[in-house]
Amino acid sequence: MPDPLYAANLMNDRRINVLADPAAVARAAAELFVQSADEAIARQGRFSVALSGGSTPQALYALLAGEPFINKVDWSKVHFYFADERCVGPADPQSNYGMVREILLNHLPIPSTNVNRMKGEIDPHEAAIEYGQMLKSTFGDGGLDLVLLGMGEDGHTASLFPHTAALAEARHRCVANFVEKLNAWRLTLSAPFINRAGAVALLVCGQSKAPAIQRVLEESPDPQQYPVLLIHPASGNLLWLLDAAAAGMDPEHAT
Ligand code: 6PG
């Protein structure tokens, strides 16, 4: 009898890589980033990628900012976007952009015009409209090459939180979303826009995520309750990068 996680993987044609620990997840994500950038730049002369906040991807960003990865990418052709943002200014400790600038962007030979942050410091609705219009003029009916996402213990991803209005967004590329449990506004890419990406990678680490991972990958519950289930790129390229703890597996059995 195959491992249930593996069976779920086959059933839904998802790729699920379980790695020993968070450092291995970061390394795998860095390799994916470099490969995706190489392919996109060779194909179209630019690579567009949306980054997430939170703690999990910080190890990835630190890897990309240093040897050997920093020398593996033509950063002048990389264009950064954000999957979501807190409604705070860029200098606020809560800012996803501020975190990415500190850990990654400040270390890269990249023109500032290649970085497209969401303006958390202005009215959320205005910021969402402005960001969505920029995405429309940049991508038209297309999407990003790669979206890097995390997942919360409640199954949220980006700022698509359970039972919030943004889950129903079918038209706009970026929306303002009030999250009652945080008593805060967030800016987030909508699921339909994320799903236009060439590829989506979900980086999930830690034992605290194991219950949600099991529900999401083995039982496929209601996406209203587990919004990460709204993420299924039309390209079919959905990659889960889990550490053994999040997968509820023994590290020895991880790849
Ligand atoms: C954010 C993120 C959010 C994050 C999850 C997981 O703005 O916080 O975009 O969606 O990916 O909350 O966060 P951790 O990686 O810290 O567990």
Question: 54: Cβ below 6 Å to ligand 1?
Answer: yes
Ligand 1 neighbour 84 (Cβ under 6 A): yes
| Ligand 1 lined by 83 (C-beta under 6 Å) | yes
Dump pLDDT digits (tens) for 218-232.
887 899 999 999 999
Q: Counting atoms of ligand 1 from 1, which one is nearest the CA of 209?
A: 17
What domains lie within the chain, and their CATH numbers? 4-248 (3.40.50.1360)
Per-residue pLDDT at 7: 47
pLDDT at 1 over 60: no
Express each pLDDT in 104-130 by its tens digit: 999 999 999 999 999 999 999 999 999
At 254 the pLDDT is: 76
Q: Is the pLDDT of residue 71 over 50?
A: yes
pLDDT at 11 over 50: no
Residue 255 is predicted with a pLDDT of: 75
What's the confidence (pLDDT) of residue 13? 53
pLDDT (0 to 100) of residue 14: 67
Nearest-angstrom CA–CA distance, 76 and 96: 22
Residue position matching structure tokens 């359970």:
162
Angle (nearest 5°) at CA 223 between 220 and 227: 115
What is the CA(252)–ligand 1 centre distance, in A? 27
Residue bearing the CA closest to ligand 1, atom 12: 152
d(CA 224, CA 30): 31
Ligand 1 contacts CB of residue 17 (under 6 A) = no
The answer on pLDDT for 208 being more than 80 is yes
Contacts of residue 174, Cβ cutoff 8 Å, sequence gap at least 6: 118, 128, 129, 131, 132, 135, 187, 188, 189, 190, 193
Å from CA of 254 to ligand 1 middle: 23
Average pLDDT score, the chain: 94
The pLDDT score that the predictor gives to residue 253 is 75
Average pLDDT for residues 82-110, to the nearest whole number? 98
- Pick from 55, 151, 204 the residue to mutate for probing ligand 1's pocket: most ligand atoms within 8 Å of its CB: 151
Range 233-251 average pLDDT: 93
CA separation for the pair 238, 251 (Å, rounded): 23
Q: What is the mean pLDDT of residues 72-96?
A: 98
* Position in ligand 1 atom list of the atom nearest CA 56: 15
Q: What is the pLDDT of residues 14-61, one digit of tens each?
A: 699 999 999 999 999 999 999 999 999 999 999 999 999 999 999 999
25 lines ligand 1 (CB under 6 A): no
Q: Is the CB of 52 under 6 A from ligand 1?
A: yes
User: Is residue 141 scored above 70 in pLDDT?
Assistant: yes
Asked if pLDDT for residue 2 goes beyond 60, the answer is no
- Specify whether the CB–CB gap between 125 and 176 falls below 8 A: yes
Q: Output 243 or 253, whichever has higher pLDDT.
A: 243
Segment 185-201 shows an average pLDDT of: 98
Nearest protein CA to atom 11 of ligand 1, as residue: 150
CA–centroid distance, residue 22 to ligand 1 (Å): 15
Phi, psi of 222 (to 5 degrees): -65, 125
Mean pLDDT score, 74-78: 98
Contact 243, 208 (CB under 8 A): no
Probe residue for ligand 1, chosen from 88, 153, 157, 202 as the CB with the greatest number of ligand atoms within 8 Å: 157
Phi, psi dihedrals of residue 17, rounded to the nearest 5°: -105, 125
Tell me the CA–centroid distance for residue 60 and ligand 1, in Å: 14
Q: Is the pLDDT of residue 6 over 50?
A: no
**180-201 mean pLDDT:** 98
The predicted structure's pLDDT at residue 130: 98
Do residues 197 and 235 make contact, with C-beta atoms less than 8 angstroms apart?
A: yes
